[in-house]
Amino acid sequence: MHVSTPSTDITLVDTMIVGATIITMNSDRHVIRDGSIAIQGESIVAVGKRSDLDEAYEAKTIVDGRRFVVTPGFTDAHIHITGDPLTRGVRRGAPGMDFSETLMQWVIPLFKAHTPQDEYVSAQVAGLRMLHGGVTSFIEAGTVQHLDEVVHGLQNVGIRSRVGAWVEGRSFNPSPSDSAAIDKAIETLEKEINCYGKSPDARIVAWPLLIGHSVNPDEVWLAAKRLADDNDVGISAHMSPYASDPAWFLENTGKRPIEHLADLGVLGENVSLTHVVYLNQSEVDILAETGTNVIFCPYAALIGAFGVASNGLFPEMARAGINIMLGTDGVPVDIMNSARLMSGIFKDARIDEALFPATETLEMITVNGAKGMGLGQRIGAIEAGRKADIVCHDTDRPQWFPEFDLIEQLLETASGDGVHSVWVDGERVIENYRSTKIDEEALRAESRETGKAVVDRAGLTVHHPWPVL
C-alpha cells in the first residue's frame, strides 16, 4: 500500500478527504479504515491512514469522510447517451414485432427524430444520471447524429467519456452503393478523431464507434483499426447479441464473426466488443489470444431475450483471462445493478454460487473498465499518481445498516442513490447529492419538453399497458 512517509515538511494540497473507509482497488486490494486521500490538481498525491497523512499534508478544502465508503469512480463501458435518455419511458414496438421490425419502425425513427439541441440535452441527462450513480467515465455506444452538441453537453456536466458517431458502412437501405456508405463512414471516423482525439488525458476523447453486427464491411473495420492504432484510442462495436450475427458472417464470409475479424487483423487490446452472447469456444480463445476486451450489458441481455443464460460463455471468458467490463446500454443507468445481474445470471445458469462474486464484479466496473478504456494506469484505483476520480458512498443511508463485508454490501445492497459526492479529475462535480456544474431543475424541465417533442416528431404513439384516466 502506498502511504506517504511522514516528515517535518508539510505539503499544501487542494483537497483532503479525511477519516473515510477507502476501497482502494490497488494491486493488493487494500481497504483502509480511517483513511485519507490527498488531491492536488487532477491527481491523487497520497492515500493511507489518516494519522500518517495528517502529519504530512494540509489542504485548502477538507472533506469529512467519516460517514463515507470511498471507491474509485465506476466505468459504464456501453451506454447510449442519445436516442434513449429522452425516450426511455416509451415502449418500443408492438405485439408480434420481431427485433428487426422494432428497430426499423420504432428505435431508428426515435433516434433520427432528435435535433442537435435534443442530443445536447440528452447527453446532459445521461451524464448527470451516471454521475449520480458513481460513474465517472463511460464508453458511448455511438452518437446518432450530432456529436459536437453531445460533446458540449458532456463538458457541462463534467464526466469522463469516450464518444463517437454511430458509424455504419453498409447501409440498411439497399439502393445506395456500399462504396458511398464506406467512404462516408471512414470520413466520419477521421473527422471526429481529428476534432476530439488529441490526448488520452483529455476528459472527452473520440473513438471509432462502429455499430458492428453486419453493417460494417471490412474496409471500415480496417480504417477504424488503423485510426485507433495511429492515434492511441480504442474501438468499440456491437457483436453477436443474437444468433443472426454468426449466421450472417457464416453465410457471407464462411467464418464466425470473431474468426473473421481476427483474420482481418482488427482485434487487439484497444478493441472492445459488446454483448458477444453467441460465441463458440474457438471465438473465446481468439479473444483471449488477441487481448480483445468484452463488454456485457446484463439488463439489456435479459429484457432483449438474448438467451444469455443458456448461451453466454462469460464464465469461460473470465477463466481465459479476457478483460470483461460491464455496461448499462441505456436503462437502468445504475452500473451497480449491472454488477448484481452479472453475478446472479451465471450463478443460476451454471448452478454455481461461487461464480462472479462481488469482488470480481467490482473489478469489472473499476480496474477492468479503466483497462478497456486504455486508462489502466490513470483511473480505476485510488492510489498516488492516478487521476482523482473518486466516489463517496453515504453509509448513513439505510442500505448500509449495519456494516460488515463492505464489498458485499456495496455490490449487493447499496445503490447509486447513496452516492453523496463525486470527483472527476479532482473536480467535485457532485456534492451532497447535487451537481456543482449545472442547474438540475432546469435540465429536468427541459428534458420533459424535448422528450415529448422527439416522440411527436417521430410520428409515434406512446402505448400504455393499462387504461390511463
Taking only the tens place, the pLDDT of each residue in 173-200 is 544 568 888 999 999 999 999 999 778 7
Task: Name residues whose C-beta falls within 8 Å of residue 444's C-beta, 6 or more positions apart in sequence.
Answer: none
Distance CA 126, CA 16 (A): 29
Task: Name residues whose C-beta falls within 8 Å of residue 233's C-beta, 6 or more positions apart in sequence.
Answer: 162, 193, 197, 200, 205, 206, 207, 208, 227, 270, 374
Name which of 415, 380, 412 is nearest 395 in CA terms.
Answer: 415
Q: Domains (ranges, CATH) in the chain? A: 11-72+381-435 (2.30.40.10), 74-372 (3.20.20.140)
Task: Name residues whose C-beta falls within 8 Å of residue 58's C-beta, 6 or more positions apart in sequence.
Answer: 10, 11, 12, 13, 16
Provide the pLDDT for residue 364. 98
Q: What is the pTM of this model?
A: 0.95
Taking only the tens place, the pLDDT of each residue in 216-227 is 999 999 999 999
Taking only the tens place, the pLDDT of each residue in 45-64 is 999 999 999 999 999 999 99
Distance of CA 291 to the CA centre of its chain: 19
Can you read off the three cell numbers belonging to residue 95? 405485439
Neighbours of 231 (CB within 10 A): 19
Can you read off the three cell numbers belonging to residue 4? 506517504
The helix/strand/coil state of 91 is: coil
- Whether residue 347 has pLDDT greater than 80: yes
The single-letter code of the amino acid at 186 is: I
Distance CA 297, CA 394 (A): 26
